[in-house]
Structure formats: structure tokens, C-alpha cells
Amino acid sequence: MNISVIVPLLNEEESLPELAKWIERVMLENNFTFEVIFVDDGSKDNSWKIIQEISQSNSNFKGIKFKRNYGKSAALFKGFEAAQGDVVITMDADLQDSPDEIPELYRLITEENYDLISGWKQKRYDPISKTIPTKIYNGTTRLLTGIQLHDMNCGLKSYKNEVVKSIEVYGEMHRYIPVLAKRAGYGKIGEKVVHHQARKYGSTKFGIERFLYGFLDLLSVIFITRFAKRPMHIFGGLGVLSFFIGFCILLYLTFAKYAFEVYRMTERPIFYFGLISIIIGVQLFLAGFLAELISRSASNRNEYDITKKIGIAD
């Protein structure tokens, strides 16, 4: 099978019939063998009924329904599990992502051998309250991860099948799939400018709180990708630095007391800053030590992804 299209959705009953016809037309025009997997993330409208009707009329369209709303990451994870196509393409169900992009997304994976292609909505039809925070979020992500994508969270992406089978998307980590893919060893990540359309039906399912959660998730994914197997490097390093700062402050105050006869040290704010720095330093170091013990006790501590072997038996 050439392509698996995964469409996570929540209460998108108006757009589903049009989206299904659009995807089918593109696939037939390009002679692709395909499947479309709709993942209903606990919709309260008639979305699942429409998915059933579409599937009954065309066996290429399949569906997964959650009993309740688990979030986009969970929907993508179950879609990735079920995908059988050589190339996996994700898109949103609100018709803001164009299925006409599918042939080029497929070509970039199969002919130019990219592991992952992320869409870039260079011209967006979103309110300024959404576009400005998005630019800040993407800039911060580029700075902290080193992955030079303009639109990290674009729902329109294409992957090699082996990529989606090698990553685990959970919580709200769908925003950072390129980071997870790079961590898994798939470093050839590209970008394609895609057409963005104004929402035709309904309203967005994401509020302003997603930017706060997105930043917290960014810190989580950076920690996981860089320090999951060596937590002492981050906690211990910060702990030693904090302890050293506090020690230098208290050493200076001790010297000042005896060299310059400066008294009433405990009334100076810098004295308490030094004490707090030492206490925080000790706590961070102990946190790193405990995390290191937990990490070394994990059953998968020596599991690594090996793609090929020569002369070595399994």
C-alpha cells in the first residue's frame, strides 16, 4: 500500500463528507493505493455515524473511535499503530489542510528519501491572537531543539512508515513529533510550504491555554531527548552550580566579617540568598542522584535501536 492518511478529529461532522471525497479524488487521480483512518477522539456530534457511512461505501476508509476525549496525541498514536502504508500522512479534519498536497508529500518521502516532511503554513488564515503566539512558540522551539522548522505543530505531515512505528506520542507530544523522530535516529527532516485555508465549518477546538501547555511540553521533551538516560547531568550540574554560588557568597561574607570587621551579616539579604542557593543546590544534586538510581534500575536501560548487523546472531 502506498499511503495511509490519518485524520484525528473531534466534532467535525460537517467537514467529513467533503474531506473524504477530496482525499479520494486526489488518490484516484494519482493512482495511489491508500487507506484513510479517521480517529474519532470522543466526538459528541454525528461524526462517528458519518465515518461509518463513508466506510460502508468505500472500504479504503476506516475508523477508530475513542469512548471519551483523550487528545490529539492519543489519536495519532492509535492511527500510527494501525497504519499500513509505506508513507503515512497526517492532516486535520477541518478542511484547513489541503489533500492536494498529498502527491508532493509522498514524492518527497519516496524519491528524495526524507524521513519526515512537515508542512509550513506560510500564509495563515487565523486570527492574530493565534498567529503571533504561534510564531513565538516556533521560534523558541527552533532555538531549544535545533530543528529548523517554521511550523513545528502543523497537522499536515508525511513520514516513512518506520518512523511512526518507532516513536511514542503521548500527552501533548504531537506538537514535537519532529523532535521525537530525531531522537529515534531519523534526522533527515524537511519542510514544505503548504496551502492553508480558512476554517469552513465549526470553530477551533484549541484555546489559549495550549501555548502554556505547549511550553511545558517543550521542556519535557527536551529533558526526555537529552537527559533520559543521564539525569544526573542536568540535575547534578545545576545543583553543583547553585551550591558553588551559595558557597562563594558565604565565603565572601565570612572574609568580609573578619577582614573588614563588617557585622550583622544576618541582616543582609545576600546572606539568605547564599543559604538558599546552598539548600537548592543540595536538593537538586539529590534529585539527580535519585533519578540516576531509577534510570539505572529500569529494565530497558540498555535497549538501543539497531538497524543492521553483519556477522552477529540475534
Tens digit of pLDDT for each residue in 166-194?
988 877 788 889 988 988 889 899 999 99
In the prediction, which pLDDT does 44 show? Answer: 92
C-alpha closest to that of 179 among 147, 209, 213, 131:
147
Please identify which residue in the block is written with the cell numbers 499511503: 3
> Count of alpha carbons within 13 Å of 297, Cβ hemisphere only?
6
What pLDDT does 123 receive? Answer: 75
Using the predicted structure, report yes or no on whether residue 302 has a pLDDT greater than 90: no
| Predicted local confidence at residue 153, as pLDDT | 81
Q: Across 236-250, 263-277, 283-297, which has the greatest mean pLDDT?
A: 236-250
**3 state SS of 9:** strand
Return the pLDDT at 126: 62
- Residue 92 pLDDT: 92
Q: What pLDDT, on the 0 to 100 scale, is given for residue 206?
A: 57
- Residue 129: name the closest of 66, 239, 207 by CA: 207
DSSP three-state, residue 83: coil
- CA 40 from chain centre, in angstroms, equals 20
Share of the chain above pLDDT 70, in %: 80
Q: Which has the higher per-residue pLDDT, 141 or 2?
A: 2
Q: What is the pLDDT of residue 312?
A: 60
3-state DSSP assignment of residue 63: strand
Q: What is the pLDDT of residue 225?
A: 67
The helix-helix angle for 231-259 and 209-227 (nearest 10°) equals 90
The counts of H helices and E strands in the chain are 10, 7
Q: How many residues does the chain have?
A: 314
Q: Which of 154, 122, 138 is nearest to 215 (CA)?
A: 138
- Using the predicted structure, report yes or no on whether residue 310 has a pLDDT greater than 60: no
Please tell me the predicted confidence (pLDDT) of residue 211.
Answer: 61
pLDDT band at 205 (very low <50, low <70, confident <90, very high): low
Residue 309 has pLDDT above 50, yes or no: no
User: How much is the pLDDT for 23?
Assistant: 96
Residue with the bigger pLDDT between 293 and 85: it is 85
The pLDDT of 225-237, averaged and rounded, is: 73
Q: Mean pLDDT across the stretch 61-81? A: 92
Question: Full-prediction pTM beyond 0.95?
Answer: no
What's the Cα-to-Cα distance from 233 to each of 130, 175, 280, 281, rounded to whole Å? 36, 26, 16, 14
> Rounded distance, CA 170 to CA 70, Å?
10
- What is the structure's pLDDT at 11? 92
pLDDT for residue 227: 65
The DSSP 8-state label assigned to residue 302 in this structure reads T
Q: Which residues contact 87 (CB under 8 A, 6 or more apart)?
A: 2, 3, 4, 105, 106, 109, 110, 158, 159, 160, 161
Backbone angles phi, psi at 231, to 5 degrees: -65, -25
124 burial via Cβ count (<10 Å: 0-12, 13-18, 19+): middle
Q: How confident is the model at residue 142 (pLDDT cuts 50, 70, 90)?
A: confident
CA dist., res. 256 & res. 249, Å (int)? 11
